[in-house]
Every structure is written in C-alpha cells, then in structure tokens.
Structure 1
Amino acid sequence: MGNRLSQECNICTEKKSPTLFLVVTSKCKHVKNICRDCVERHIDARLCGKGDVFIQCPFEGCKQVIEHNDVKRIVNHELFERFDTLSLRQTLRIMPDFRWCKNSMCGSGQIHYEKDDAPIMTCRSCGEKSCYTHDVPWHENMTCQQYEEKRKESEAATNHYLMKHTKPCPKCGTHIEKNGGCNHMTCKIRSCSYEFCWL
C-alpha cells in the first residue's frame, strides 16, 4: 500500500509523496516525475557554477528554459533572491549605456545618457567619479585622449617586455618567464601543465 502512495523521482530515484513532485515549466511535455528538491538543487548548481540564469529543465531530453516565474514557484526565498539579482545584473550588463560604480564598496550602477560627450560619471549612491568612455575610475588631471595615449604606451611597454622576457606555452599560450635553472619548463596553469624546452 505504501508503494501506491509514493512515486520515484527520475533524478534522485528516491520514493517520495506525489505532492513533492512538480511540472518544472508550463512548456514541459513530460509527466511530473522530478521532485522539487532535485529541481532546486539543479537551479542552485547552475547559479553557483557559472552564475547562469539561462537554466533548462533537468529532465533528460527536455530543453525547456525554466522561466523567472517558474524559479520563484519552485525554489526557496534565498535562492530566488540570488537568481533575481543575477538576472538583473545580466540584463544591465547588455545595456550599452549602463556602467557599474567603480567603488568596490558601493555595488550601484546607473545609465549615463550623456555618453562620451560628458564622460565624467558621478555615482548617485556614493559620489565616486568614473570615466564612462573607458569604464575605469576617473583619471584625474587627464583628458580621455591623454588617458588613452598613456594606456596605449603602457600596453606597448607590457607587450615589449613579454616578447623580450617570456615565451608562450606551446599548448595554452600563457606567457612564461624563465627565472633561472635548466631549460626544461612546465606550464604553471594547472589545467595545462605542458612540459617543453625553453630553447
């Protein structure tokens, strides 16, 4: 009799009360065979892993996107708040006139309608000044043109140093500087660890 009153989750394979199962999205074509806990864990893993808010239904073969209202209906309040914040940030990131405040203690941002015509942006929240054009803290005592010239000089000096004192890893391309020892080199990037001869 207990078996008739329980259902097996398609993901965790645990037998649970049918009330703990749900339709993930209104567009899903599969039956209610995934428990709420598994869907919540799936959403949490996607948010924690890549900070991705484009999350598909975890049912194998189902490609339906879990919409904003679906997430709100399924997950706990704390997880929904994280999803909502990441969704907002991703939306703001693609708005061309939006800039985040450069004060690391602030976390605010705003749209700067004047664009490059008036590049000094003053944060409405903390008052920190930043450059709209270069998306950096405001470069005091320099126009945007002077800042750009200095940035290019610095970039050229860095490239010159890298060409003269480093070699790219043949596998991943990361610049490696030889600091003595033999010519046997090992790339310090953990996922690469390619070994090669400096000469």
Structure 2
Amino acid sequence: MFNSSHGFPVELEEGASVATLKEMVGRLQGVLPEQLRVIFAGRELRSDSTLQGCDLPEQSTVHVVLPSSTSARRSDLVLQHRLGRAVDSLTGLDLTASRLTATSTGLAVVLETKDEQRPREEPGSTGVPHTNFYVYCKSVCRSIQPGKLRVRCGACKQGTLTLSRGPSCWDDVLLPERIHGVCQSEACLGRVAEFYLKCAAHPTTDDDTSVALDLIMPNIRSVPCIACTDVTSPVLVFQCLDRHVVCLDCFHLYCVTRLNERQFVHHPDIGYSLPCAAGCPNSLIKELHHFRALGEEQYERYQRYAAEECLLQMGGVLCPAPGCGAGLLPEENRRMIHCLLNNTLGCGFVFCRDCKEGFHEGACHARSAPVSGGVLQGYVVDEEAAHQSRWEQASQETINETTRPCPKCKVPVEKSGGCMHMVCPRAQCQSEWCWICGVEWNRECMGNHWFG
C-alpha cells in the first residue's frame, strides 16, 4: 500500500531485501526509492534487511509511505525514532510471561521462559515457525488456530503507525490507549496504537480479524496436562494461583462434562464461565471465546444454556411444556403464566409459576396426599388390589422419607447420602438449598448442619 486508500500487489523473491521492495514501488509510483519508508507490524523496516528476516509471510500487507514535509511532523518522527529503536517485531513477540506471574507455585511456573532460553529457528530451517498467539478464527476456519499480532492507527485504522515501544504484556494488547506511536499517513495525526489479531492459517484481508485467546499458549517446556498427564502443545493455562495447565482435548472434555451437568457458573460481569478444572478459587475464564473449544454444535448449546441461566437470574421462568422451554419474563408477583404462541416461539401453555404444572387456583400439590378417614361405603375393594396397595403405601412412605420438595420449583429431590447441601437436579432450576431447613442454602446452614 502506497500513501493511498487502495493497495496493489508486488511479487518478490523470498530472499529479496527491503531496498528491492522500495525500488519496485518507486518505479511504479514515480518516486525515488531512498525517499520511501516501509512499515510492517508497527515498525519501520531497514533497507538492508531481507523480507524473510523481517518475518514477512506470503501475501503480507506492508505500508510504503513518503515522509511528511511539515516541521512539526518531522519532530514527531525524530522523537518516535529515538523511542522506538528497540521495538521488536510483533511476529516474534512472546507475552506468555504476563499470564504466568512470578507468584506461580504449580506446574505452570516452568512455562516461564526468558527469550534467550527459547529455542530459535536455525537459519535456513524449513520447520514450522514458532507460534506465540492463538485465536478463534470466526470467518474461514471457525476454529482455534495459530494467530498473528498486528497494529494499526487508532484514528485512520491504517497499518502505517510506528510504535514508540512494543507491548510487554497482554493488557498492552487487549486494553485501549496503552501504547502510542506516530502514524505515517500524510493526512493523519493519530498517536494511539490499536492492536488486533488475525488467523495465521490462511490469507486475510484488513477487516478479517480474529478473537485473541490469551490463555492458550505453546507448551514450550513440555508441562504435562493436569488431567491426562500427556505432554502436548498448545495448552490452556488457567489463571488460578497455581496456573494449572490442561491440554485442549481435556479442556474440551471438561467443558462438555460441565455443560451436560449444567454446572457452568453465571457471573454478572463475566457471563457463563468455568473455573480452573482443579476447583481453584477466583479462576473463572474471562474471555468466553475460549469455550469455542466445544465445537459448533456444543457451543450453540452453551449459548442456549447461558441465555436460560441469564433469564432465570433476572427473575424469569422457562415454559415447562415438553418441547417448548421458551423464556418468559412475567411480572414479579404474577402466579398465572401464559406462554404466548407467537410465530415460532411459545406454545400457548398456561401454568402455575410455583409448581410449574397447569394453572390452578388454590395451593399447589406437588404430590397426591394419601386418603384418610373411615371406610368408604358402597365401594368394594378387591383383596389382591388391597394387597398391592400396601406396597404402594410403603413406596409412598419411602418417597416421603427419602425426598424433599425443592423450595424453588417443588420437584421432589432424593437424598441418598452425603451432606445437607442440595442442588436441584432439574435443568431449569439448579437451586441450592438445605435438606434440613428446606430453604435456600446459607451461612447458617453451612455452619450448623452441613453434615447433619
């Protein structure tokens, strides 16, 4: 791209120099090559460097610009040049350490590796380049793929900005206005760097961006997975104190299992997420696109469950009619709920908000009460039927002894051992309550009779 809103293709040999690129662009645009500046991934490329040495993969977009003629602009460039001499290539940047703090005490601490310890590609090597970033490609691949970090001017959105310094942590990349620079576009006075990631598995356009997955990183020190103990790469590193490592296959299994159990956690700020697989506190995954590891079909189910849980947290209800499950937001004290039939949503079922059965007047009856009183006249009871009814009565007594109605949805819940902390098994409820008190689980229950 040459000082314009449109680009043009240039074909060069892999070992060509930046000076050769300037000469070719200069001939095409009618300018002297020595006047041109070549910018790629936030830094100006030296004329004596090779394209391969600057980590330019095939079909890369570089920006070739003319220096500004204004004195104010020249002073900005001089200042930027002084500040930005040590800016490293974004293609080789490693932000792993910012997700593996020095306070780590678990296995993941060995992932912290200084640049001089990292294995490097030998000159002329034909091996696969080392990948430091992973993304969810939302356009072509629709899966987790290696990524590449790029930067552009926050004002004109062009890749003509040169950085005053490179990012040193993930916050520099993910949070706005953390790093500044100088935009080299003639008509732009932009100073703020805007970082973004692209999928490295296929050629991309300027608008084809991907979602950064900052917890997925290369397993450069061969740390075993916390679940299967296999050594694979890449891995996901939970942000718990111990920075536990899990391979992507086990992370997928962990997510599917918790999804089947409806055990994802709804957080008001983060959303529908999971903590560390080891159960560590304060370890919820904040970037929910990591759950794209579920795959397309399971991720759709994840989104549906998340929407249902959000609805329940807002005081809504789900229609209990088989095959419906529509989300409804009735008035707070309204007992009769009508699932309105509207195009493809709703079924027309009218039900009781308390017991989730068909609407009725009076108190809810979660289960039928045994008939009491004297012998009914005019009704002949068969002896065999009477004998069988004794078993039914015994079964009813067993049910009464071993179950309690969930205080929220009134569904009978059986307790077959363990503590008094109950979780309603009904997928639409999942209420936590006390077996003894029959109320929502609280600190008093926890302290007085957690185990009886």
TM-score normalised by the shorter chain: which range applies?
0.5 to 0.7
Aligned-residue RMSD, C-alpha? 4.0
Query: Any conservation in 2 of the 1:47–1:53 contact (CA below 8 Å)?
Result: yes
Give the fraction of aligned pairs with identical amino acids, expressed as a percent.
20
Q: 2:338 aligns with which of 121, 127, 131?
A: 121
Deviation at 1:100, TM superposition (A): 2.5
Aligned length: 156
Please give the alpha-carbon distance, in whole angstroms, between the structure 2 residues aligned to 1:165 and 1:6. 62
Deviation at 1:46, TM superposition (A): 1.6
Aligned to 1:148: 362
Aligned to 2:271: none
Q: 1:57 aligns with which of 249, 259, 276?
A: 276
Kindly tell me: are residues 68 and 122 of structure 1, through their superposed partners in 2, closer, same or farther at Cα, counting changes over 3 Å?
Answer: same
Query: Any conservation in 2 of the 1:112–1:132 contact (CA below 8 Å)?
Result: no
Please give the alpha-carbon distance, in whole angstroms, between the structure 2 residues aligned to 1:31 and 1:102. 41
Residue 158 (1) aligns with residue 366 (2): no
Q: Flag as ranges the 4+ runs of structure 1 deviating above 4 A.
A: 4-7
Please give the alpha-carbon distance, in whole angstroms, between the structure 2 residues aligned to 1:99 and 1:107. 9
Deviation at 1:7, TM superposition (A): 4.3
Where do 1:24-35 residues align within 5 Å?
Answer: 24=238, 27-31=239-243, 33-35=245-247
Name the amino acid aligned to 1:121.
Answer: H
Query: Any conservation in 2 of the 1:101–1:107 contact (CA below 8 Å)?
Result: yes
Aligned to 2:224: 8
Please give the alpha-carbon distance, in whole angstroms, between the structure 2 residues aligned to 1:38 and 1:120. 42
Aligned to 1:36: 248
Query: Any conservation in 1 of the 2:244–2:276 contact (CA below 8 Å)?
Result: no
More helix, by proportion: 1
Q: 1:82 aligns with which of 292, 296, 301?
A: 301
Aligned to 2:330: 112
Kindly tell me: are residues 132 and 95 of structure 1, through their superposed partners in 2, closer, same or farther at Cα, counting changes over 3 Å?
Answer: farther
Please give the alpha-carbon distance, in whole angstroms, between the structure 2 residues aligned to 1:131 and 1:51. 24
Where do 1:155-194 residues align within 5 Å?
Answer: 158-160=369-371, 165-166=393-394, 168-169=397-398, 173-174=401-402
Structure-1-length-normalised TM-score = 0.57
Segment drifting more, 8-17 vs 71-80? 71-80
Please give the alpha-carbon distance, in whole angstroms, between the structure 2 residues aligned to 1:33 and 1:95. 35
Deviation at 1:122, TM superposition (A): 4.3
Query: Any conservation in 1 of the 2:226–2:244 contact (CA below 8 Å)?
Result: no
Q: Which has the larger radius of gyration?
A: 2
List per-residue Cα deviations over 1:16-61 (Å, max 9, x = no partner).
23xx11223xx3344473211112211211222x211123212x46
Please give the alpha-carbon distance, in whole angstroms, between the structure 2 residues aligned to 1:73 and 1:158. 49
Name the amino acid aligned to 1:80.
Answer: Y
Structure-2-length-normalised TM-score = 0.28
List per-residue Cα deviations over 1:68-113 (Å, max 9, x = no partner).
61543543233322222222222222333x2323432323132123
Aligned to 1:178: none
Query: Any conservation in 1 of the 2:236–2:246 contact (CA below 8 Å)?
Result: yes
Aligned to 2:12: none
List per-residue Cα deviations over 1:147-171 (Å, max 9, x = no partner).
216x56x96x624469x943744xx
Name the amino acid aligned to 2:262.
Answer: G
Kindly tell me: are residues 33 and 109 of structure 1, through their superposed partners in 2, closer, same or farther at Cα, counting changes over 3 Å?
Answer: closer
Query: Any conservation in 2 of the 1:115–1:132 contact (CA below 8 Å)?
Result: no
